[in-house]
Amino acid sequence: MARIPNTYLDVFPLCLGGNVFGWTANEQQSFDVLDAYAAAGGNFIDTADVYSAWVPGHSGGESETIIGRWMATRGTRNDMVIATKVGMAPGLKGLSATTIRAAAEASLRRLEIDRIDMYYAHADDPDTPLTESLHAFDAVLREGKVRYIAASNYTAPRLAEALAVSSREGLARYIALQPHYNLVHRSDYEGELRDLSTREGLACFPYYGLAKGFLTGKYRPHTRIDSPRAASASAYLDEHGLRLLATLDDIAAAHHATVAAVSLAWLMAQPNVVAPIASARSVEQLAELLPAASLSLSPEDLVRLNTD
């Protein structure tokens, strides 16, 4: 377990993404994945109120509902650290005070819990003053509905401004960020955002840790994979991507590990990263990810991955 800086939360070094629950994994499949994750010692689940509104006939909240039912059925609430998000669900877009309160109450109902452990602003809302959003987050935190707040998809300048507002007005402060970050998508985090998180002591929880499946190693030239993410993952099959896959293959073989585990272990070794987020729609997929939690890459491995 790893302590999230500036909190009392100890979390498993691999965060289980809930975006597939109710989408590519039905309720029973989701329960199976959650059972296997918990059995392996996992305790950190990431979801959002918008998951999975993009599916025809869905309205958002399906993932939260499944996670809530699972915790209620298994009696695992006190063992889990639950992170969810506000700002991108149909009818609850943005970060106005009204939206934050309504969305928090709705997430609590679906998750069947009385407090959200980590509540993210899912994306920056330039149309709402930061003071309004942060006062609203502060209010639900002081009421005990939320333990900590965090930011996803913020630029470094806007995140710095939000932290300054919290300090100036004595409001709850973002304690973590969730950026798009992985071996083939590094520019969003490395640079200003990483420097800011280091300076301010923020934890980093990267999403798309496996580049929509590309970093599992399953997507190769002339290989057809039946997955909703196949087109997105295959977009990385350029010269750089193929060179990186070859390096991942070598390192995975040396460690008797999967390519996915090596990709996630690389993320775990990066500055401020407490736990990367990765999802699995089956127990078999999860089994490929879990070894990352105990996989220690050598300095030579990291140099190779950083340069390829």
State yes or no: pLDDT of 304 exceeds 80: yes
90 touches 126 (CB < 8 A) = no
Contact of 103 with 47, CB cutoff 8 Å: no
Query: Side by side, which strands form the sheet with 116-121?
Result: 203-204, 174-178, 146-152, 116-121, 81-86, 44-46, 15-17, 277-278
Closest CA to 251 of 301, 217, 210, 294: 301
pLDDT higher than 70, residue 230: no
Residue 119 designated active-site:
no
Q: Which sequence spans correspond to the domains of the chain?
A: 2-211+263-293
> What local confidence, expressed as pLDDT, does residue 308 receive?
76
* pLDDT for res 158: 98
**pLDDT over 80 (residue 222):** no
List pLDDT tens digits, range 61-119: 999 999 999 999 999 999 999 999 999 999 999 999 999 999 999 999 999 999 999 99
| Residue type at 237 in one-letter notation | L
* Whether the predicted pLDDT of 227 surpasses 90: no
More confident residue, 218 or 177: 177
Q: What is the pLDDT of residues 188-208, one digit of tens each?
A: 999 999 999 999 999 999 999
Report the relative pairing of strands 15-17 and 44-46 from DSSP bridges. Answer: parallel
- Percent of the chain residues past pLDDT 70, beyond the cut: 97
Give the tens place of pLDDT for each residue, 277-291: 999 999 999 999 999
Active-site residue (options: 37, 51, 119, 219): 51
152 or 220, higher pLDDT: 152
Tokens of 103: 């969305």
- The residue among 260, 214, 256 whose CA lies nearest residue 235 is 214
Q: Is the pLDDT of residue 226 over 70?
A: no
CATH code 3.20.20.100 for 2-211+263-293: yes
Rounded-to-integer distance, Cα 17 and Cα 279, Å? 4
What pLDDT is stored for residue 234 in this prediction?
73
| pLDDT, tens digit, 9 for 90 and up, residues 17-55 | 999 999 999 999 999 999 999 999 999 999 999 999 999
Residue 123 predicted with pLDDT over 80: yes
Amino acid 220: pLDDT: 84
| pLDDT band for position 219 (cuts 50, 70, 90) | confident
Q: What one-character-per-residue DSSP string does the chain give?
A: -EEPTTSS-EE-SSEEE-TTBTTTB-HHHHHHHHHHHHHTT--EEE--TTTTTTSTT--S-HHHHHHHHHHHHHT-GGG-EEEEEEBEETTEES--HHHHHHHHHHHHHHHT-S-EEEEEE-S--TTS-HHHHHHHHHHHHHTTSEEEEEEES--HHHHHHHHHHHHHHT---EEEEE-B-BTTB-TTTTTHHHHHHHHHT-EE--BSTTGGGGGGT---TT----STTHHHHHTT-SHHHHHHHHHHHHHHHHHT--HHHHHHHHHHTSTTBS--EE--SSHHHHHHHGGGGG----HHHHHHHHH-
**Over the chain, what is the mean pLDDT?**
96
pLDDT at residue 145 in the model: 98
